[in-house]
Chain A
Amino acid sequence: MDTKGILDIIQHNGENQAGLIAILEEIQAEYSYLPEEALRLVAKETGRSLADVYGVATFYKAFSLKPKGRHCISVCLGTACHVRGAQKIVEEFSQELGIKPGETTSDNEVTLETVNCLGACALGPTVVADGHYFPHVSRNKVSDIVDAARNGLETLDGKTDGRVFPLQVSCPVCRQSLMDPDHHIDGHPSVTLDASFNGRKDRVHLSSLYGSRAPASGNGVPHNSVTRLHCPHCQSEIPSFSDCLECGSPMAALYIREGCTWEVCTRRGCQGHMLNLNQIDLLKNDEGK
């Protein structure tokens, strides 16, 4: 363990109680878990009792005291997924991996977790493996997902495997693909759009990975300003059906092959995005064009 690194984290987070969670979050991000030595160090440096620090570390599900495997599979047990039989999916994963939820396989490769809602309820039962979403998971898909995770999901391609996010996005109006194979973000072709702002136009690129936090690239648009997004092919404005849950700005609804829309917040810098199945009706007249 890198004592110096942890001391740095503690220092720049200040020493008040509010800083404790921030410190632990940063250590967790660094090591993928909270090593015992790190917790002792945090207690010593912040002047809190180890019992307090340990209490906080064990209270939040986001913290783990055990090292995690190289790959992480999270099965959603939220209400919507639960009623669609997610419990059975968890059991299947447990059996397939030979571990219980919360445990890591003995080869330190795969950690199995359960979560309470991934925000993609319409796609339930939902499973996330290393940041890749698998919608409508049934029991017979479980071993495929485990194999995919073990082999490294980065090599999988959304084109050949329709269940895997990265998303394939097209313009909701002209249906031409918005994917830019020459510009990669997160190791996948990015989504390209024209953004207009104050009469200026600029090409922007978004990550096509659902769940990615990578910021959109494109420099012409000031941070925090809401832009209008256009299809680079037909120049129509991307329609908006809802407002961003995080900041309230309009969401641009992009068309996805699975027949749902991927809505991304139009405010530059906002990471708000979601999958929406409700827009099918609005768009399906054009299906198969």
Chain B
Amino acid sequence: MVNTVLEVQNITKRFPGVIANDSISFKLNKGEIHALLGENGAGKSTLMNVIYGLYKPDEGQIFINEEAVEVQNPHDAIARGIGMVHQHFMLVPVFTVLENIVLGSETTNGPSLNLRSPRKDIQKIIDQFNLDIDLDTITEDLPVGIQQRVEIIKALYRQVDILVLDEPTAVLTPQEVDDLFKIMRSLVDQGKSIIFITHKLKEVIEIADQITVIRRGKVVGSAKPDEADQQSLATMMVGRDVDMHLHKKKAEPKEMILEVNNLVVKDANGNVEVDDVSFEIKAGEIVGIAGVQGNGQTELVNALVGMIPTESGTVKINGLPATNASPRKVTEMGSAHIPEDRLKDGRVLPFTIADNMVLNTYYLEPFAKSGIRQQEEIKEFAVDLVEKFDVRTPSAENTASSLSGGNHQKEIDAREFSRPINLLIAAQPTRGLDVGSIEYIHHRIIEKRDEGCAVMVVSTELDEIMELSDRIIVMFNGKIIDTVNADEITKEQVGLLMAGVTA
């Protein structure tokens, strides 16, 4: 017997200039993992925010357990059994796991906080779903994947039956993804239902029971994972054939662009994050930096572009000293930097998209003349980039914060690709992008290489590293554990290196 726990009917949500959801209908059955697929800006997050009570739909109806409801706000959503795990967690870093879970629904004994009976209840949930977590650890000490688990437990503790996971795998390591999938399975096996958003088609086929595809605010199709393959899903999503394999000619490395010698970087607490790293990148080659998140790649990039100071060692760009150069100096030496954390670095969310498009060139002609900003030039430039990179927005003068997750990324990519450069340092350049956009960005990266640019790609996606790189540097524990030519190594071998296993 099929039991529909959540149904949305003809949901329409408009923003100024866009119809984010255009009469969307779909059903979530009990015990089902329902994957939502769609291009960047298709309207997936908007729909979830409507269901979770963050947005009021302009039209349409929501049914929970076949009863029409109006979800007023997230509180209301939770009370009706709907929980949502956001990608950026809303946890208090210095609280213990237990404190974070009860936060917002504390019980008290007189004036003091009662943690004993919640602890019992929470432990029961942990055992029931095999969540495996220590309730007394300080939250900030936990890896991202486990913090996400805290969010899931938090929702379960509030007795939700429906869990919305909006791109939960975007920042997880492959191992963490596996763990998450086990948890998701265990949840649906015991009667919970899950809406799962991702751009990784492989994951959809692996975990989903039902797939709904959205394009430009409309449902354009649905599929069962056993009848679908990645290629067909991609086509349905983007509305055209997507070439999932990259074709590139052999690299022809030329002059030296980036030279890094014995670089050491420490964090604020004095821990060594980058440990005596030396490598070089020549014009016309793509070097991929592979590694599990947290093995020094972030700090390496930040030190190279001048965001954090180095401890010792030297950096040269185009043969010129660039150790501890300021971000502006590095930019002016002809490099571009796509930062890893697209919401925090490299963007000002309340600014317009146009202003963000010139964030690091605002002071140069033609965007400014003798200290006066040239609004028209800026806007023209931005409108062009918006079109070229297919940033989905009704206007370049909308605030950057109105963009969808993937379009945030496209906006940064567009800006950094827009200048003449000879060094491109790209950290997670396709995180959160749909397959069509990934294809586009990958082509631009290869185009830059072929124009004679030195490219450094940092990615936790092994597939991306394998596809793009001419050479691969694997980092482990802050050190370079190996440097290999991409066509002489298999994905499995790189995977082993990433885990610190040397032959």
Task: Report whether chain A binds chain B.
Answer: no
Chain A residues within CB distance 8 Å of chain B: none
Chain B residues within CB distance 8 Å of chain A: none
